[in-house]
Structure 1
Amino acid sequence: MMARRVLAGLLAAVAAGALVGCSNGGTKFDWRSSCATTPEGVVQCPPDKRPAPTPISGELLNGGSYDVQQDRGNVVVVNFWGSWCAPCRAEADDLESTYQATKAAGVRFLGVNTQDGRDNARAFERGRLTYPSLYDPGSKVALGFQVPPNATPATVVLDRAGRIAVVIRKPVRAEDLRPIVDRIAAEPPSGT
C-alpha cells in the first residue's frame, strides 16, 4: 500500500514537472530562469518575476468548499500533506504555530491533503491543525502550479496578489518558515 502511494506521488511530481510550460497570460512562464533555487530546494521568485495567480479551489476535508480568490489581499501559505507522510507529521506543529503567530498580519494557511483517505486525513488533522485543508486525493491541485511543488510535504507561499513567492520542497520548521512568511507579508501590495 505504501509503495503504491509513493509511486502515485512520484507520478504526480512527474506530471507537475511536465506542466512547467503552462501559460501565464498567454506567455510561457519559465520558473527556472525567473526564480532562484537554493541547494536545500527552496524556490524564491522575486516580486517582478512571479507567475500569474494560481487558481486553487476545491472541496474542504471537513465539508464545504474553498476558492483562493476569497483570500486575495492576504498572504496564503499552502501546505501539501498526507496522513501517511512521516515528515508531514513532524512539521504539523511548526505550521500551526506559524499560522497562529501570523494570522493577525493578514496571513492565511491552507492545507492540501493528497493521496489519502478522508477518514485518515481527518484523524491526522484533528487536534493538530486549526486552518482548513482541501481534500485532493488525486493531487490535482499541485498540477495547477506554474512552479510545481514536486514533493510531499511541500509548502507554497503566495503573495497578496496570489502569485507564487516561495516554494519549499521539504519539511518546514517554524524558525525557517516564519521569516519567509513575515517577509512576504511585509511587501507592499501590488496587483491585489
Structure 2
Amino acid sequence: MAESRATRRTVLKTGLAAVAALAVAGCSTDGGIPSSGGGGGDFDFTAATPAGELIPAESRQTAPAFAGELLDGSDFASSSLAGQIVVVNFWGSWCAPCRVESPEFQAVSTDVADAGVSFLGVAVRDQRQLAQAFTDDFAITYPSLFDPSGEIALTFRGFPANVVPTTILIDRDNRVAGVYVSAVAEEDLRAILQELLAEDPSGTPTTSPPDD
C-alpha cells in the first residue's frame, strides 16, 4: 500500500510538472503536425529565435508563399501582403497561452496598422465554430486562416508546428525575421516590430542624417 501511494505521488508530481511546462512553453496539438514539408521559398527552420531578438538581416531566408481559406470563408494568399511586415501567429481556441497572447497581439496590431505592419492568425487543429467564437470573444479584428490539418505550417520547412502558440515574423523583403515557439510578451513584440520598422527594405537599419 505504501509503495502504491508513493507511486501515485510520483505520477502526480510528474503530471503537474508536465502541465507547468506546457503552460510556459505553449500547447502541443493533438497528434502533432509533421514538422517538415514542401512549399516555395528558401526558409528551413533550424532553431527558435530568442525572445525579443531578430534574425540578423544577412542570415534571413525567403518566406514561402502560402494560401488558404479565412475563418469567414473568403480566400487568402500571402502575396496580398507583399512589401509589408507580417506577423503570422499560429493559435488554437483550445490553447491556454493563446488566450493571454491574442488580446495583446490585437492591441499591438491596432497601434501599428498604419505603419505597414499586418497581422495574420492561423487557427490550427481547431473547429471553425470554436475558432470563430475565440476571435469574437477577444474582439480580434485581424484575419485568421482556418488550417485544421496544419497545411500552412508545412510550407515553412522544418517549422515545429506542433507547438502553439508560435509566431513568425516576415520582413518587408519577404524574409523570415524571427520564429518564436512560445507565447510572445507584448513588450517584446512591440520592440522587435520597432526594429523591423526602422530597417530599410534591404534589412539595413536606417540612420538619421548627420547634423550640419
Tell me if both proteins adopt one fold, taking TM over 0.5 as the criterion: yes
Q: Is the 8 A contact 1:72 1:162 kept in 2?
A: yes
Deviations, residues 125-160 of structure 1 (Å, cap 9, x unaligned): 014200000000001111111461431001111001
Q: Is the 8 A contact 1:94 1:172 kept in 2?
A: no
Count of paired positions? 174
* Shift in CA distance, 72/30, structure 1 to aligned 2, threshold 3 Å: closer
1:96 to 106, 118, 125: 106
1:170 to 157, 182, 185: 182
Q: TM-score, with normalisation over the residues of structure 1?
A: 0.81
Partner of 2:15: none
Alpha-carbon offset, residue 54 of structure 1: 1.6
Partner of 1:52: 62
Q: Is the 8 A contact 1:149 1:167 kept in 2?
A: no
Alpha-carbon offset, residue 182 of structure 1: 1.5
Alpha-carbon offset, residue 31 of structure 1: 4.7
Query: In the TM superposition, what are the counterparts of 1:115-154 in structure 2 within 5 Å?
Result: 115-128=125-138, 129-146=140-157, 148-150=159-161, 151-154=163-166
Unmatched 5+ stretches in structure 1? none
Deviations, residues 91-141 of structure 1 (Å, cap 9, x unaligned): 111100110111111000000000000000000001420000000000111
Query: In the TM superposition, what are the counterparts of 1:1-192 in structure 2 within 5 Å?
Result: 6-8=29-31, 11-12=32-33, 15-16=34-35, 18-19=36-37, 31-32=45-46, 37-38=49-50, 44-128=54-138, 129-146=140-157, 148-150=159-161, 151-190=163-202
Work out which of the two has the higher radius of gyration on C-alpha atoms and give 1 or 2: 2
Alpha-carbon offset, residue 77 of structure 1: 0.3
* Shift in CA distance, 86/160, structure 1 to aligned 2, threshold 3 Å: same
The residue type equivalent to 1:148 in the other structure is: F
Unmatched 5+ stretches in structure 2? 1-27, 204-212
% identical equivalent positions: 40
Q: TM-score, with normalisation over the residues of structure 2?
A: 0.74
Mapped to 2, the partners of 1:93 and 1:164 lie a distance apart of 24
The residue type equivalent to 2:198 in the other structure is: A
Alpha-carbon offset, residue 66 of structure 1: 1.0
The residue type equivalent to 1:95 in the other structure is: F
* Shift in CA distance, 37/77, structure 1 to aligned 2, threshold 3 Å: closer
Alpha-carbon offset, residue 173 of structure 1: 2.0
Q: Is the 8 A contact 2:39 2:65 kept in 1?
A: no
